[in-house]
Amino acid sequence: MQKKNRSKGGAKKKARKQTSQRPEQKGYEILFGINSVYEALKADRRKFFEIYFSKDPNSKRLQKITEFTKQRDIKVVNETPDKLSILSGSDYHQGVCAKVSDYPVVDMGAFINIENPFLLLVENVVDPSNLGALIRTAHCAGVDGVITLKDRAVSHTPSVSRASAGALEHVKFAKVTNMVNCINELKEKGIWVTGLDAKAETSLYDANLKGPLAIVVGGEDKGVRPLVQKNCDFLISIPQHGSFNSLNASVAGAIVIYESLRQRQK
C-alpha cells in the first residue's frame, strides 16, 4: 500500500503479584527489581530519595546499583525481603526497591516537531506485562514516544517499568483522554496513522510503513476499537497460517514495529 504525500496480610502471606492500577500521584513511587532501579538511575529523569536492599548490596548483581548510590550520595536502607514486598506490593523485587519521584510524563507536543516521527499508540491494554513488553520493544526499535489512554488502561506503573526491564525509564510517554482526538491531531501534523486489525485486507508486508508514522495497537480482548479504526489512515494485518489465529497484543505490536523499522532503514 502506497501513501500519498502529506504535509507535516494474614499468618501466611500469598505471593504479591504485580499490580496494574494507575499510579497514585503522591509525590513518589516505589520502583522494584534490579533492571527498573538501575535503568532509572541511568536515565537520570527521577529524583532518588532512598534505595532499599534486602540482599548484600555489594553482590555481583547489585553492584552496579551500589556504585550509583555512592556517586550520587543516595541514602541506602537495609530491609527484610518481607518489608520490600510490602513497600513494592510485589514479591518480585529481586532484593532491591527505590523510593523515587513520580514518572515524568510528557505532553503530546513533545512528539509533534520530531523529524520523521515514529510513535506507538496503545489503546486499552490492561496487562502490565503486555504494556511493558511493548515499551521494551519500542525503545529497542528507536520509537520516539508511546501514547496511552488516561483511563481504562494500564499506565506507567512500577510494575510496567519492571515488565519493560527498565525501558520505561528511558522512553517519552504521554497520556491522552481521547484516542480519536489524538489520532486526528497527529494526522493534522502530517503523521500517518495505521491500526492493527486481524481482518484488514492489507498485509503489513505490503504497507508503506516509512515516513512519519504512528502505530495503533489495541487491547487484549477487543483489539483496536471500531471508531479508532475508522479514524486511522489505513489498517494492516499480520499474516497467520496456523489454526490459532490470535497473537498476543505485545507480540503483534513487536512484529509491526520491527517491520516499520526495517523499511525505515532502507
pLDDT (tens digit per residue) in 209-231: 999 999 999 988 788 999 999 99
Residue 222: what pLDDT? 82
- For residue 149, what are the contacts with CB-CB under 8 A and spacing of at least 6? 122, 123, 124, 175, 176, 177, 179
pLDDT > 80? residue 13: no
pLDDT category, 5, cuts 50, 70, 90?
low
pTM metric for this prediction: 0.88
What's the chain's average pLDDT? 90
- For the segment 132-146, the average pLDDT, to the nearest whole number, is 98
- Give strand pairing partners of 122: 148, 217
Of the two residues 111 and 170, the one the predictor is more confident about is 170
**Edge-to-edge strand order for the sheet containing 48-53?**
29-32, 96-100, 48-53, 75-78
Closest CA to 220 of 194, 246, 242, 245: 246
Please give the domain boundaries of the chain with CATH numbers for all domains.
29-100 (3.30.1330.30), 109-264 (3.40.1280.10)
Distance CA 41, CA 98 (A): 10
How many residues appear in the chain? 266
pLDDT > 60? residue 10: no
pLDDT > 60? residue 251: yes
Grid cell 540482599 in the structure block, residue: 55
pLDDT category, 12, cuts 50, 70, 90?
very low
Distance CA 211, CA 260 (A): 9
Residue 20: what pLDDT? 43
Contacts 24+ apart (CB under 8 A), 105-108: 105/156, 105/173, 105/174, 105/175, 106/145, 106/172, 106/173, 106/174, 107/174, 108/147, 108/174, 108/176, 108/182, 108/185
- For the segment 119-134, the average pLDDT, to the nearest whole number, is 96
Residue 57: what pLDDT? 82
How far is residue 263 CA from its own chain's centroid? 23
Residue 247: what pLDDT? 85
